[in-house]
């Protein structure tokens, strides 16, 4: 396989991956910034659109809770 055809192949694969991504992309995932109710550490939680109370586990102390 020549370098040129290898490059073409790579480009094709990247293009395909991008096209696939646009189809399966998750729409409107939002990030909620919240503070742990136990230790006060800031946590970033990804949530589905319209969801405000999302269960998460504090990355600092491991406390399971919900965002407000």
Window of 1-9, 14-22, 23-31, 52-60 that interacts with Zn ion by CB under 5 A = 52-60
Measure the CA–CA gap between 29 and 6, rounded to whole angstroms.
Answer: 36
16 to each of 4, 9, 19, 34, 40, how far by Cα in Å?
18, 11, 5, 37, 44
- Interaction of residue 44 with Zn ion, rule CB under 5 A: no
Window of 2-10, 21-29, 44-52, 54-62 that interacts with Zn ion by CB under 5 A = 54-62
Site string for Zn ion, 23-42 (x = CB under 5 A): -------------x-xx-x-
- Interaction of residue 45 with Zn ion, rule CB under 5 A: no
Q: Give the SS3 label for residue 59.
A: coil
Q: Are strands 55-57 and 64-66 parallel, antiparallel or unpaired?
A: antiparallel
Chain positions contacting Zn ion, by CB under 5 A: 36, 38-39, 41, 58, 60-61, 63
């Amino acid at each position: 396989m020549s370098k040129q055809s290898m490059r073409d192949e790579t480009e094709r694969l990247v293009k395909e991956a991008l096209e696939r991504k646009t189809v399966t992309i998750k729409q409107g995932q939002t990030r909620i910034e919240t503070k742990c109710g136990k230790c006060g550490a800031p946590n970033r939680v990804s949530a589905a659109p319209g969801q405000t109370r999302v269960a998460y586990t504090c990355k600092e102390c491991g406390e399971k809770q919900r965002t407000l």
